[in-house]
Chains A and B, each alone.
Chain A
Amino acid sequence: MIARVADHCFWLGRHIERAESTARVLQVTATLALDAELPPRRCWHPVVIVSGQEADYVTRFGLEALGNAETVQRYLTLDDENPVSIRRSIEAARENARSIREVVSLEVWQVINELHMFLGSTEAEAMYARDLDAFYARVQHATQLALGLLRSTMLHDTPLDFVWLGMLLERVSQTARLLDVEHHALVPGGTSPVLETALWFSLLRACSGFEGFMKRSRGKVTGAAVASFLILEPRFPRSILYCATSSRQRLAAICGDELPGRSALSRLHALETWLGAVTPDELQGARVHETLTHVVDEVHAVCDSIGGELLGQVEPEAEQFQSQ
């Protein structure tokens, strides 16, 4: 497989996952804000932190705006200047897909292209203004459809492995950041038990993990149980351990017995082993933050290593000329 093509596959997976995750987090937060009786900043500031764009946001809108639900949501949905807004993420996913149109199946391409056109349309602006929940639902449905179609319409071969690898590594960072920011905010005993439970539920929903968690914990909600579920549950597709294991498997399939990618693979393997040694009892207080920091740092290093070993350089922009 061509390194340039692998690079586009990898980023296609990351951008779709990022858009999907952003839409879900915003939808869940907007729902939480309706009845949690929390100061707006308590609801929306964490969302900005999770996006990784806090500095840019504060520079543009000021500290006060961290509590402005509308400013945060617009920034993360239709803002053209924010590189991780939903519109920009889908635009990036679509650019990556367009660069490898011969690799991406027609079905996947069409869903991404339609979502891209929707997000640039007045219809999207109108839906955003009139029915925000429907807007978030539409983005989630289209991105989830794209992820499903990738699996059901493409060869289960190296290109798809790269898409999936990108998707999983993006997902592991999202889960880690979401849990970390909420965990920081939730000092045990600092808020009322009712409110604390609402916040844990909200976090679980932001990770699509509410139902899975309830099945595993049989209705018993504690901060430690939620953290343990999101980090260590091997059957939950957004848990950190699950994503680490799956991404290690995808990378192993890509590398085979060849040398390129081996150092990223061994690093990912080490992370998986390290996570496997963490027990649920340990996931209390500061240890959660330490664990998540380690995960985020390691995933970052793995991505750098994959980029250097497998994805090659991004080539200079092609010049234009007439064709017949």
Chain B
Amino acid sequence: MTQAIVTPVRPTPSLFEAYAPLPAAWDELFVSPGIVRAGLREPLAALLTVHPNDLERAQALAERALLTQGVTFSVYTDQRGSEKIFPFCLVPRVVTAADWRRVEIGLEQRMRALHHFLNDIYGEQRILSSHRVPAEVVLGAKHYLPKLRGVQPPRGVRIHAAGIDLIRDPDGIFRVLEDNLRTPSGVSYVIENRLVSKRVFPTIFAAARVRPVDQYPAHLADTLRSCAPAGVDDPVAVVLTPGPFNSAYFEHTFLARTMGIELVHGSDLCVDDDKVFLRTTRGLRRVHVIYRRIDDAFLDPEVFRPESMLGVRGLMRAWAAGNVTIANAPGNGVADDKAVCALVPDMIRFYLGEEPKLADVPTYVCARDADRRYVLDHIGELVVKAVDEAGGYGMLMGPQSTAAERDEFRRRIEAEPRRYVAQHRVELSTCPTWEPERRTLVPRRVDLRPFILTSPEGSWVLPGGLTRVALREGSYVVNSSQGGGSKDTWVLQDPT
């Protein structure tokens, strides 16, 4: 059983006094050795005096708790059925109330622009005829689904649940790295990490006055209900999962359990007369909202991959007829494309007549001639990414690459310029992270994935988010599939 850690006051040098942030990166907690960031000294007073033995013990308790509760992800490359815990570091990433407000406002604006964009691209395509963005970049996106043009999703919402990946540059400015508007995962770890932090760090946690995150499932359930097809009084919503072998299966069960709705497989659903039904032990029952965690391509063998056994035949017809809400709406992947993502500032100006409130990472889109020439000439200084890959795959870290790798990417870019974008490597911010071998704190790179829910009334940002951390020294790759871990993200209450 997990026990609370009581931190006695000891005169021994604290763990944090020896902590040395990297010179060229922003550190989330420290300005320089021993100097805590403005606004954090008081809330973190209890944490900053924690003894290494106590942190080590709390860390072991936390890992044990995550394992026995089955807070795990499945590993594809491993043998079938293998499950691992997402490595978790108890030292939190902390965001002040003022910083968080700026992030929230920027995300809200971004979501508004992206909704306009998706409605437009699957509608009139005004932004293309205005020549404000290159049509070939948008229409050439792998996940653009021309078959869906003209379909209006119920209640006009397309991005019910989004996860936007942010990084923080050396000046402490949050920048958007990429959008995840299809089936973003990770929110269950946010809530589970929080539960564990509260159990093993109760006094430290209480002293910091952190905004809660456990309201997310109720908000998601409200969002899903509010987007049900018109005229349905008491909509039935379900979570659609590809099954226990999917890496995010834990999250699918978590969301179904905490929302109190059924977790279904494609084979549990059927479509009749353009309406969706659940096969139950007492016959068919109508379903109005599907929170799906299956990619577009697998949703409906009638329209997309004919061999898919995960989806539901006829689902797209039911959606087009307005009889079922699919969350998130099919087709959102066009905006996740890394070349299209680079166009969001133009979308904000075009649709909203506003300037972007949230910075992004300047991106060279290789489909543009000038950009491509620059990328080919400076490839050794850049991070090159395939526009349609995720999880840290299909990329070249220029400064750490070999000559052969650089040549390979030059060839690929010249062959398929549309498929590549490049960015200068941003010195990701760091956060003190427990290093079990040396029993000390070391600076490790982090990113932040906030989660945004959008209903017809507007967007709501969960005060928190998934902080992923690159556990390997010198690494910039935070993905769980490549040695990343996670941290609890503490968004502080307003000090007033």
Please report A residues at the B interface, Cβ cutoff 8 Å. Answer: 1-6, 98-102, 106, 109-110, 113-114, 117, 158, 254, 256, 258, 260-261, 310, 312, 315-324
Q: Is B87 an interface residue (CB 8 A)?
A: no
Known contacts A1-B282, A323-B247; is A318 also within 8 Å of B70 by CB? Answer: no
Option from B69, B248, B293 in Cβ contact (under 8 Å) with A106:
B69
Known contacts A321-B295, A321-B298; is A102 also within 8 Å of B309 by CB? Answer: no
Known contacts A318-B265, A321-B242; is A2 also within 8 Å of B279 by CB? Answer: yes
Bound complex: CA A178 to CA B245 (Å): 38
Q: Is the CB of A102 within 8 A of B246?
A: no
Closest to B391 in A: A322
Closest to A102 in B: B256
Option from B244, B256, B257, B267 in Cβ contact (under 8 Å) with A98:
B244
Q: Is the CB of A320 within 8 A of B76?
A: yes
Bound complex: CA A221 to CA B279 (Å): 53
Bound complex: CA A309 to CA B489 (Å): 49
Interface residues of B in 237-262 (CB under 8 A from A): 239, 242-248, 250, 253-254, 256-257, 262
Q: Is the CB of A101 within 8 A of B253?
A: yes
Give the residues in chain A near B76, CB-CB below 8 Å.
Answer: 320, 322
Give the residues in chain B near A117, CB-CB below 8 Å.
Answer: 67-68
Interface residues of B in 168-188 (CB under 8 A from A): 180, 182-185
Q: Is B335 an interface residue (CB 8 A)?
A: no
Closest to A311 in B: B281
Bound complex: CA A316 to CA B278 (Å): 18
Number of A-B contacts (CB under 8 A): 103
Option from A5, A99, A310, A319 in Cβ contact (under 8 Å) with B309:
A319
Q: Is the CB of A110 within 8 A of B391?
A: no
- What would 12 more interface pairs be, CB under 8 Å, given A4-B265, A101-B263, A323-B242? A1-B282, A2-B278, A2-B279, A101-B70, A110-B70, A316-B309, A317-B245, A320-B76, A322-B76, A323-B185, A323-B293, A324-B184
Shortest beta-carbon distance from A99 to chain B in Å: 6
Give the residues in chain B near A316, CB-CB below 8 Å.
Answer: 309
Option from B244, B264, B281 in Cβ contact (under 8 Å) with A6:
B281
Bound complex: CA A109 to CA B283 (Å): 29
Bound complex: CA A6 to CA B262 (Å): 12
Option from A1, A100, A110 in Cβ contact (under 8 Å) with B68:
A110
Shortest beta-carbon distance from B414 to chain A in Å: 27
Give the residues in chain A near B97, CB-CB below 8 Å.
Answer: none
Known contacts A110-B68, A316-B309; is A158 also within 8 Å of B242 by CB? Answer: no
Option from A261, A310, A320 in Cβ contact (under 8 Å) with B246:
A320
Q: Is the CB of A3 within 8 A of B390?
A: no
Range of interface residues on B (Cβ < 8 Å):
35 or more
Closest to A162 in B: B281
Give the residues in chain A near B310, CB-CB below 8 Å.
Answer: 318-319
Q: Is the CB of B185 within 8 A of A324?
A: yes
The 8 A-B residue pairs whose C-beta atoms are closest, nearest first, are A101-B253, A318-B243, A102-B256, A102-B257, A102-B263, A102-B253, A315-B267, A1-B281
Q: Is the CB of B257 within 8 A of A101?
A: yes
Option from A106, A114, A324 in Cβ contact (under 8 Å) with B390:
A324
Give the residues in chain B near A5, CB-CB below 8 Å.
Answer: 262
Give the residues in chain B near A322, CB-CB below 8 Å.
Answer: 76, 295, 390-391
Q: Is B268 an interface residue (CB 8 A)?
A: yes
Q: Is B280 an interface residue (CB 8 A)?
A: yes
Option from A3, A106, A323 in Cβ contact (under 8 Å) with B280:
A3
Option from B68, B246, B253 in Cβ contact (under 8 Å) with A323:
B246
Bound complex: CA A158 to CA B390 (Å): 41
8 CB-based A-B contacts, threshold 8 Å: A2-B268, A4-B267, A258-B282, A318-B242, A320-B242, A320-B245, A323-B183, A324-B336
Bound complex: CA A100 to CA B264 (Å): 10
Give the residues in chain B near A312, CB-CB below 8 Å.
Answer: 279
Q: Is the CB of A315 within 8 A of B390?
A: no
Bound complex: CA A322 to CA B309 (Å): 15
Shortest beta-carbon distance from A116 to chain B in Å: 10
Give the residues in chain A near B256, CB-CB below 8 Å.
Answer: 102
Q: Is the CB of B295 within 8 A of A4?
A: no
Known contacts A102-B256, A320-B76; is A2 also within 8 Å of B262 by CB? Answer: yes
Interface residues of B in 322-352 (CB under 8 A from A): 336
Residue among A100, A101, A254, A261 facing the most chain B CB atoms (10 A cut-off) = A101
Known contacts A260-B281, A323-B295, A324-B390; is A113 also within 8 Å of B70 by CB? Answer: yes
Q: Is the CB of B69 within 8 A of A113?
A: yes
Bound complex: CA A108 to CA B282 (Å): 26
Shortest beta-carbon distance from B410 to chain A in Å: 26
Shortest beta-carbon distance from B471 to chain A in Å: 21
Give the residues in chain A near B267, CB-CB below 8 Å.
Answer: 4, 315
Shortest beta-carbon distance from B239 to chain A in Å: 8
Known contacts A319-B309, A323-B246; is A4 also within 8 Å of B268 by CB? Answer: yes
Bound complex: CA A119 to CA B250 (Å): 22
Per-residue contact bits, chain B 285-302, to A (CB 8 Å; 1 contact, 0 not): 000000001010010000
Shortest beta-carbon distance from B287 to chain A in Å: 11
Known contacts A321-B295, A323-B293; is A158 also within 8 Å of B246 by CB? Answer: no
Q: Is the CB of A99 within 8 A of B390?
A: no
Give the residues in chain A near B184, CB-CB below 8 Å.
Answer: 324
Give the residues in chain B near A110, CB-CB below 8 Å.
Answer: 68-70
Shortest beta-carbon distance from A242 to chain B in Å: 25
Give the residues in chain A near B246, CB-CB below 8 Å.
Answer: 318, 320-321, 323
Bound complex: CA A140 to CA B256 (Å): 31
Residue among A6, A117, A324 facing the most chain B CB atoms (10 A cut-off) = A324
Bound complex: CA A106 to CA B188 (Å): 14
Bound complex: CA A149 to CA B268 (Å): 28
Give the residues in chain A near B185, CB-CB below 8 Å.
Answer: 323-324
Bound complex: CA A158 to CA B262 (Å): 13
Bound complex: CA A321 to CA B183 (Å): 13
Bound complex: CA A256 to CA B246 (Å): 36
Give the residues in chain B near A260, CB-CB below 8 Å.
Answer: 281-282
Give the residues in chain B near A319, CB-CB below 8 Å.
Answer: 242, 308-310
Per-residue contact bits, chain B 56-90, to A (CB 8 Å; 1 contact, 0 not): 00000000000111100000100000000000000
Shortest beta-carbon distance from B237 to chain A in Å: 13
Give the residues in chain A near B280, CB-CB below 8 Å.
Answer: 1-3
Shortest beta-carbon distance from A299 to chain B in Å: 21
Shortest beta-carbon distance from A166 to chain B in Å: 14
